[in-house]
Amino acid sequence: MASMRVLTQRSFGETSRRDTWWVQPMVVFLGLSAFIGYTTWAAFQGVNYFHDEGGAHYLSPFYSPLLFGQGNEPRWFASDRPSFWPEWLIFSPAFLILIGPAGMRFTCYYYRGAYYKAFWADPPSCAVGEPRKSYWGENRLPLIFQNAHRYFFYPAAIFVLILTYDAYCAMWFHSPDGDAQFGMGVGSIVLALNALFLGGYTFGCHCSRHLIGGYLDCLSKAPVRKKCYDCVSSLNNRHMQWAWVSLVWVAFTDVYVRLCSMGVWTDWRIF
């Protein structure tokens, strides 16, 4: 009890730690700020999200699945925006897509621990004084919404399947007369790695573990589910690493498709 009292009475930033505890929250702050800034910018562009030169079909993950669009790219609906969207309001196809992955990341157990420290110092790090005296918890607005995490898992899993299909499409190169030939460009690899990293992050989610291994009294009596559970657990063990590598790569994938479609980068066709 005595040590608990000492912990809660620390002033902001006060600690007896001698290591560089502030580096990790600072890196998280810079990394997430850069990602949020770039994603917001890319979402508002509404152009250069599809590269089809040389027969390639590369679609930015920020715009996939492409429901509406303005060019000749394959899209689900013929219109450039949904009918319910007000004419006066700026629209980009990415607006309809990013809410799902954003909700998944925002409510992720790992990210919560990371950005609570990095963005509002709650606490800045373990055994470091925080700028408030009481514990707010996640049992009232707005943080009670964090409990919706399990519901974001299902759309996120569907997004991974869609992005895997996009990666498959990126391995087929179309001739002007409409024939498609299997091939591989650098963009094909970029999109395939994107699906792989997002899959490693999504299927290593704690909700995925519960879905695979939950509701059973004795997991070892269901050998197939036990095997799946072990696979998910090994992804879950490295959830932080999957979270970061998938975050960086999904942004890079958008950059790659964007710069190729703008003609700044040339996609190298391997075969």
- Relative to beta strand 172-174, strand 50-51 is unpaired
Give start and end residues of each alpha helix (H) in the chain. Answer: 2-8, 23-45, 95-107, 109-120, 149-169, 186-202, 206-213, 223-237, 239-261
Q: Does 205 bind ligand FES (CB under 6 A)?
A: yes
- How far CA 206 is from CA of 50, 202, 210, 220, in Å, comes to 33, 9, 6, 19
Closest separation in Å from C-beta 133 to ligand FES:
29
Give min distance, CB of 110 to ligand FES, in A. Answer: 5
Question: Is residue 66 within 8 Å of 75, Cβ to Cβ?
Answer: yes
Selected from 21, 109, 172, 265, the binder of ligand FES by CB under 6 A is 109
Instruction: Determine the size of the site formed for ligand FES (CB under 6 A).
Output: 9
Residues 124-153 that bind ligand FES (CB under 6 A): 149
Structure tokens at 88: 């006066």
Return the number of the residue (56 or 108) whose C-beta is nearest ligand FES: 108
Residue (71 or 113) nearer to ligand FES, CB? 113
Quick check: 212 binds ligand FES (CB under 6 A)? no
Contact status: 206 vs ligand FES (CB under 6 A): yes
CB-CB contact of 156 with 37 (8 Å) = no
Is 159 a binder of ligand FES (CB under 6 A)? Answer: no
Cis amide leading into 142 (omega within 30): yes
225 sits near ligand FES (criterion: CB under 6 A): no
Say whether residue 207 binds ligand FES (CB under 6 A).
Answer: yes
Compute the least distance from the CB of residue 238 to ligand FES, in Å.
12
Residue 56: HSE in the Cβ half-sphere, 13 Å Cα cutoff: 27
* Residue 247 contacts ligand FES per CB under 6 A: no
- Nearer Cβ to ligand FES, position 43 or 157? 157
Please tell me whether residue 210 binds ligand FES under the rule CB under 6 A: no
Task: Indicate the burial class of 17 (C-beta count within 10 angstroms; 0-12, 13-18, 19 or more).
Answer: exposed
- Note whether 32 binds ligand FES by CB under 6 A: no
- Those residues with Cβ within 8 angstroms of residue 174's Cβ, 6 or more apart along the chain or in another chain: 52, 55, 57, 180, 181
209 interacts with ligand FES by CB under 6 A: no
The two structure tokens encoding residue 179? 């024939």
Nearer to ligand FES, 32 or 257 (CB): 32
Of 86-94, 107-115, 157-165, 252-260, the segment contacting ligand FES by CB under 6 A is 107-115
Neighbours of 181 (CB within 10 A): 11
Near ligand FES by CB under 6 A: residue from 42, 66, 108, 211: 108
Which is closer to ligand FES, CB of 74 or CB of 214?
A: 214
Please answer whether residues 28 and 114 qualify as being in contact, where contact means their C-beta atoms are separated by less than 8 angstroms. yes
Which residues bind to ligand FES, rule: CB under 6 A? 104, 108-110, 149, 205-207, 239
